[in-house]
């Protein structure tokens, strides 16, 4: 594997735990990706202006040979398989997958910025990244 990607998983519709588990299972099957570690799952309040229920969130560390844009395309496929429907920005969803950062790679395109623009604004991401750092030592 060339790098480590940190991917945030979130769900706040339906069987949230099942959506996270299904996403992890599908991510494991992506060619060029290996799940190295998983944070604990935690419940968080929704972010943004849309009224909705709480999220279950988790961060995973992926060993990957995929560049960020290609990994994002594969993650979008996982979201589609998980019945993700893109409606309102920051709205409710069955599954949301965000590339939060890569260990050694940055990326800047109209579709994707790595590290993620919101990395410093999401306390739960900071906790999950710290947990993964401890596990991966």
pLDDT score recorded for residue 28: 96
Q: How many residues does the chain have?
A: 137
The pTM score is 0.93
pLDDT score recorded for residue 134: 80
Task: Show which residues are catalytic.
Answer: 84, 93, 96, 98
- Look at residue 1 and tell me whether its pLDDT is greater than 70: no
Check which CATH number belongs to the domain holding 14 and give it: 3.30.70.560
Residues 73-124 pLDDT 10s: 999 999 988 877 777 676 788 899 999 999 999 999 999 999 999 999 999 9
Nearest to 11 by CA among 49, 36, 41, 40: 41
Average pLDDT over residues 118-133: 95
- Please give the residue range of the domain that contains residue 8: 3-135
pLDDT score recorded for residue 51: 87
> Helix axis angle, 68-81 relative to 16-28, nearest 10°?
130
Count the domains in the chain.
Answer: 1
């Amino acid at each position: 594997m060339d790098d480590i990607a940190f991917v945030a998983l979130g769900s706040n519709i339906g069987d949230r735990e099942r959506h996270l588990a299904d996403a992890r299972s599908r991510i494991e099957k992506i060619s060029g990706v290996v799940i190295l570690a998983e944070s604990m799952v935690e419940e968080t309040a929704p972010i943004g202006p849309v009224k909705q229920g709480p999220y279950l969130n988790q961060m995973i560390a992926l060993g990957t040979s995929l560049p960020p844009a290609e990994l994002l395309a594969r993650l979008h496929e996982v979201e589609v398989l998980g019945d993700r429907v893109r409606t309102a920005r920051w709205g409710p969803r069955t599954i949301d997958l965000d590339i939060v950062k890569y260990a050694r790679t940055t990326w800047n395109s109209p579709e994707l910025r790595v590290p993620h623009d919101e990395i410093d604004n999401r306390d739960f991401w900071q906790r999950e990244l710290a947990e993964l750092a401890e596990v991966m030592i």
